Structures are given as structure tokens and as C-alpha cells.
Amino acid sequence: MSTIIYIVIVLIVSCILVCIFSKSRSASGRPIFAESNFEPHPNDKAILVNGPIYSNVKDACYDFCDMYNVDDYVVLIKLIRIDPETTLLLFPYEIDFLHFVNLVNHLQAPTNQQYHATVTGWLTTRGSDKWINARTANKRAMLISGQHEIDQDRVYFITMDGIAYQFTLSQNIALETNNSPITYTQAEINIENYEGRRGELIAFRPTE
């Protein structure tokens, strides 16, 4: 085989491989999204947003996913409309603790929207979670963003048995507090009743 023919074959194969790779990724650099590529991961993480209408919460989730799902899909959110001013967020494919905390904070005051909301998250902690220690691991906990402290990026955390922390996200600080402004409460709805319901899966904002 002559050198020229060999070079031509190599170039053709290279072009084919580049085309295949390009088609497998979106314009943003993420792989093309397909829900079938993800394995369900049972968990009890949930966020309840009271106040804004569903479409506003959905837009806020789009913005959050676009911020974090740059090279891969690390945040997948299932949205369920409970009533005109109540939206439930579930995470059938899991979400790590730090993204969960940041999402609670983001939904309180989205960058591109102005609305009044009460945002509350619930989960069972794990020892491997950021900021979680032996005293707070494997406990049911609640998180609420500091509604009047948005510039501080502050989220309040409290376990069912009353161990409280405040997370200052901009400084990457977690401080235990004996004067928490929140107390642990159960969700006003039975979240388990909604886990099997069909919702809207958010991974990124679709291009128009």
C-alpha cells in the first residue's frame, strides 16, 4: 500500500471518529442527554418551594442545571406541581449534598428572577457528605436558606434532634450554632406519596 493511500485512509477514519464524537455531545460540551443512560438511585432528598408559580421555579432550575451541568450531568431534578404556588423537587438519580445545599440557596433568590419564596429541603445525611460529622451523620435533617441574608449565601441546617449549623457558601464555612433561627419540622405534605408520580425532569435549558 502506497504512503499516499495510507494517509488518505487515516484521514478518513479520523474524520469519521471526530464526527461520531461531535454528534454524541451537545453544543455546550455536555453529552447528549438521554434519561435511559441514568440508573435510578432511591433517596429521600426533597425540596419544597412555596410562593412562586411553577414556571418560575422551573426557570430557576434550568439556570441552576446550566451552571453545574457543564461537562456532565451532576444535577437532575424532577419537578412536580403540587398546586399553583407549591412545587416539589425530587432527585430520582441522586444529587450530592453540596449541590443540594446550593440548590436550596439558589431557589431562594435565583440570579435571573425576582420572587418571594419559602424554600425548604429535607434529606438523610451521610458520613461522607461535606460538613457532616459523626454527630450529624445518618440523621434526618432540614435546610432553609437565610431569607434576609442572601448576600451571605447562608443556609441553615438542623437535624431532627436539634443539632444546628449555618453554612456560609461563599466562604465555604460551616459553623455549629446554639441559636438557630429554625426548628426541625416535617414537610406539610407526605413526600413519599409523590415519589411515584410523573413529573418533569430538568437537566438543562432547551435551546429555542
Give tens-digit pLDDT for 23-54.
444 555 678 888 889 999 999 999 999 999 99
**What's residue 16's pLDDT?**
46
Average pLDDT (186-199) is 91
Q: What is the 3-state secondary structure (H, E, C) of the chain?
A: CCHHHHHHHHHHHHHHHHHHHHHCECCCCCECCCHHHCCCCCCCCEEEEECCCHHHHHHHHHHHHHHHCCCCCCCCEEEEEEECCEEEEECCCCCCHHHHHHHHHHHHCCCCCCCCCEEEEEEECCCCCCCCCCCCCCCEEEEEECCCCHHHCEEEEEECCCCEEEEEHHHCEEEEECCCCCCCCCCCCCHHHHCCCCCEEECCCCCC
Per-residue pLDDT tens digits for 137-156? 999 999 999 866 555 689 99
What's this model's pTM, rounded to 2 decimal places? 0.84
